[in-house]
Chains A and B, each alone.
Chain A
Amino acid sequence: MGVLESLELGFAVAMTWENLAYCLLGVSVGMVVGVLPGIGHLAAISLLMPLTFHVPATAALVMLAGIYYGAQYGGSIASILLNLPGTASSAVICLDGYPMTQKGRAGPALLITTIASFVGSILSIIVLIFMAPPLAQLALSFHSADYFSMMVLGLVAAGSISQGKPMIGLASVLIGLLIGLVGIDVNSGAMRMTFGVPELFSGISIIVIAMALFGVVEVISSIGKVNGRARDKTEITLRGLMPNRKEWRESFWPMMRGSAVGTGVGILPGTGGGSMAAFMSYAVEKRTSRTPEKFGTGAVEGIAGPESANNAAAQSAFIPTLTLGIPGDAIMALMLGALMIHGIAPGPRVITENPELFWGLVVSFLIGNFMLLILNIPLIQFWVKILQIPYRFLFPAIVLLICVGVYSLSRSTVDVMLVAGFSTVGYLLIKLGFEAAPLLLGFILGPMLEENMRRSLMLSRGDFATFIERPISAGFLGLAALLLIWVIKGELTPKTPISVTHDV
């Protein structure tokens, strides 16, 4: 199928009333949670995951993806106006966005980030459209050993390129893999780690894990922390949004460079959530700038570049997820989870076997970004108002939605208790430095990793050399080994922590 035909199919799917409505719902929810500190897009996606049981697969993914990139738009609003990042990936927007507010340029800053988000997303979607089909074609020739090694690389990357300590990140991956194995082993029919609880026979739902680790743990750590913020006094009018000519000129190339950086970084595994893309773009802008001393005092380049980058990364992260079935971060893991809930096996066949899903989703990205552009600018007053909802009334609602959402999965109180249990243990582990995102990645890949390992070893009659005799597999394992060596070297040499806020 040619690109034009595919896009035609995509438009036909995405432009149905149902899918348009779910797209709008997704991007609106995304905007809201992006704006609000103390509830991230991961929590929001987890909260809405139960809804996906009631809608077709395409609509479900369109909505969940909308939350994700919608939150990238919304996140910058709190950063600019209050110096509080609504999402992790917009933390870097605070550096120059808030100084712009202090200089009375909040309006132009908001408009430029909106445009930058839009530009970054669109450029990245174009790359996705042209890159995904050939990549999936290539992946069709992969054997189980190649898959195994690719997953190992993805997991090693997710564990070691995380925010915290690489060793603990890797331990988080292992714990996730193990939780993923709970239930009946499809191969032998043996019960594994079910402890005689019938509700565990079919395994633990990804929704339970996501709600506990992203929803409840986030609520626990935010209570009492995100309340006492200053009331926003900035008045924003539509006319005050217009940047001047100098600001337009200064933001054009940063947007282009930011989009390129973001698209590239987003494809790589383990670079989750766009924050790495945003920080890299900030560093690039500062280095290429003729006036680097302006950064941190309200430089337009410092918001235009990173904002394009985190949105571009949010879109290009779908490339490995949809073509290879390897999620790059926790959000992509949730997307895969939603696919599996609908009985679609992730992997290179998704594009050829479910073209309406793939192309419908891609086109919905385009539509969703237009919606966000339209939602953002005239409604800016509304988003600013939302910022003033006190968290102490918000979080009881979140807790209730978590409970009823999990209960609605299969009307099982055991699932709800599991959420309580996993959040109790999870909060402690996260306080000790374990990380939820690599854990979730391990959780989703665990059964696939085991299955591919079993298949490879059966074909090779138990010879482990199969993993290094196939060139593709050897390549992936080699990269994973390099990554591990690099990480261990970094652990052994005393390092000065890279401080992002002061010197990039």
Chain B
Amino acid sequence: MNILQSKDFLAGLAAVLIGFFVIVTTSGYGFGTPRQMGPGFFPLTLGVMLSLLGVVIALGALRRQEKLPKLNLRPYILVPFAILIFALLIPRVGFGPAGVATVMLAGIAEPDTRKLHLLLLAMGLVPAVWLLFAVGLGVQVAFIDWSF
């Protein structure tokens, strides 16, 4: 099996990359001394530890290999996208349209669901949730707000 398909190797690689990213970002923060820890002391130490741990994890993959599990690809793309759309739409069109778009987009992550059913769900759900938050909890958010 190709090492690049090994779960542990990739996990170790991810840890190393995150560790390096932290090291690069925080190396300019002022390390200080143990007695007077600077803002960079703690994150830099953690970043180094994470990178080293990543190397250990990746080396472990040489002994025992486990295949990468399959990703649930359709929901993996659609669900975060639906959330992103909510963030982009809500200041521009208000809660109602943004909510409907989010429910529809998230809903089609399950391919068997009928669009009409989803639309009905959104019609009921979105106003109910808006009432709960805007009226019930007093969150300042307009239901419809066309401000392009």
Please classify the interface of chain B as helix (H, G, I), strand (E, B), loop, or mixed, using the class held by over half of its residues.
Answer: helix
> In the assembly, what is the distance between CA of A391 and CA of B110, in Å?
10
Please classify the interface of chain A as helix (H, G, I), strand (E, B), loop, or mixed, using the class held by over half of its residues.
Answer: helix
The contact sample of 12 A-B pairs, CB cut-off 8 A, is A171-B15, A171-B54, A188-B38, A190-B29, A193-B25, A219-B79, A392-B110, A395-B106, A397-B103, A400-B102, A408-B137, A413-B90
- Are B80 and A420 in contact (CB-based, < 8 A)? yes
- Are A165 and B8 also in contact (CB < 8 A) when A393-B117, A407-B90 are? yes
Shortest beta-carbon distance, B76 to chain A, in Å? 5
The digit string for B40-78, where 1 denotes a CB below 8 A from any CB of A, is 001100110110011011001000000011011011100
* B residues with CB within 8 A of A: 7-8, 10-11, 14-15, 18, 22, 25-26, 29-30, 33-39, 42-43, 46-47, 49-50, 53-54, 56-57, 60, 68-69, 71-72, 74-76, 79-84, 86-88, 90-91, 95, 99, 102-104, 106-107, 109-110, 112-113, 117-118, 121-122, 125-126, 129, 133, 137-141
Check: A419 CB closer than 8 A to any chain B CB: yes
- Are B36 and A458 in contact (CB-based, < 8 A)? yes
Contacting chain B: which of A238-246, A286-294, A425-433? A425-433
Shortest beta-carbon distance, B60 to chain A, in Å? 7
- Are B110 and A464 in contact (CB-based, < 8 A)? no
Shortest beta-carbon distance, B20 to chain A, in Å? 12
Contacting chain B: which of A102-110, A130-138, A139-147, A449-457? A449-457
- Are B37 and A454 in contact (CB-based, < 8 A)? yes
- Are A403 and B50 in contact (CB-based, < 8 A)? no
- Are A223 and B72 in contact (CB-based, < 8 A)? yes
Which residues of A sit under 8 angstroms from B34, Cβ to Cβ? 457, 462-464
> In the assembly, what is the distance between CA of A193 and CA of B34, in Å?
21
- Are B49 and A395 in contact (CB-based, < 8 A)? no
- Are B117 and A168 in contact (CB-based, < 8 A)? no
Q: Which of B86, B121, B137 has most chain A Cβ within 10 Å?
A: B86
> In the assembly, what is the distance between CA of A407 and CA of B87, in Å?
8
Chain A's closest residue to B98 (CB) is A403
- Are A424 and B80 in contact (CB-based, < 8 A)? yes
Known: A193-B26, A396-B104, A416-B83. 16 other contacts (CB 8 A): A167-B57, A174-B49, A177-B46, A187-B37, A192-B26, A220-B76, A220-B109, A223-B74, A392-B112, A395-B110, A399-B103, A403-B87, A404-B95, A413-B91, A417-B84, A423-B80
Which residues of B sit under 8 angstroms from A402, Cβ to Cβ? 83
- Are B126 and A400 in contact (CB-based, < 8 A)? yes
Check: A434 CB closer than 8 A to any chain B CB: yes
- Are B110 and A403 in contact (CB-based, < 8 A)? no
Check: A256 CB closer than 8 A to any chain B CB: no
> In the assembly, what is the distance between CA of A458 and CA of B33, in Å?
10
- Are A457 and B137 also in contact (CB < 8 A) when A193-B26, A401-B129, A403-B102 are? no
- Are A219 and B22 also in contact (CB < 8 A) when A171-B57, A178-B46, A457-B34 are? no
